[in-house]
Amino acid sequence: MKDPSYIVIFITTPNQKEAEKIANALLAEKLAACANIVDGVHSLFWWQGKIDSSNEALLMVKTKSVLLQEIIHRVKELHSYDVPEIIALPIISGSQEYLSWISESVKD
């Protein structure tokens, strides 16, 4: 499968305020076309050898795949976690108008 042109990036944060800070930075820097925040996500995960849990906010960022490394770098600068979740999923298809809008909304 060739690299997709568009991706959705999942980023968990400790709260909505931090998610908004990251989203606003990515949008202002034209790294993201859209960011959705889902507050009240309950996460369970392995951390330091044991199962842990936390209430978090989930940030879903829509962008072009060529911007992923720059986004990862920027999120790590802004994020309070030692190891933030930053995972990208391909957008394999979608409304051509929406995908074109993503392209027009982010930097080249």
31-58 pLDDT, tens digit each: 999 999 999 999 999 999 999 999 999 9
d(CA 54, CA 62): 25
pLDDT greater than 70 at residue 22 = yes
pLDDT greater than 80 at residue 6 = yes
Q: Average pLDDT in the 17-29 region?
A: 98
pLDDT greater than 90 at residue 4 = no
User: Residue 80: left (phi > 0), alpha (psi -120 to 50), or beta?
Assistant: alpha
- Continuous segment of H or E residues that includes residue 16: helix 16-28
The pLDDT confidence band at residue 2, using thresholds 50, 70 and 90, is low
**pLDDT at site 102:** 97
pTM above 0.85, yes or no: yes
What is the set of domains in the chain, with CATH numbers?
6-105 (3.30.70.120)
Q: Tell me, letter by letter, the H, E, C secondary structure of 96-107.
A: HHHHHHHHHHCC
Residues in the chain: 108
Q: Average pLDDT in the 12-16 region?
A: 98
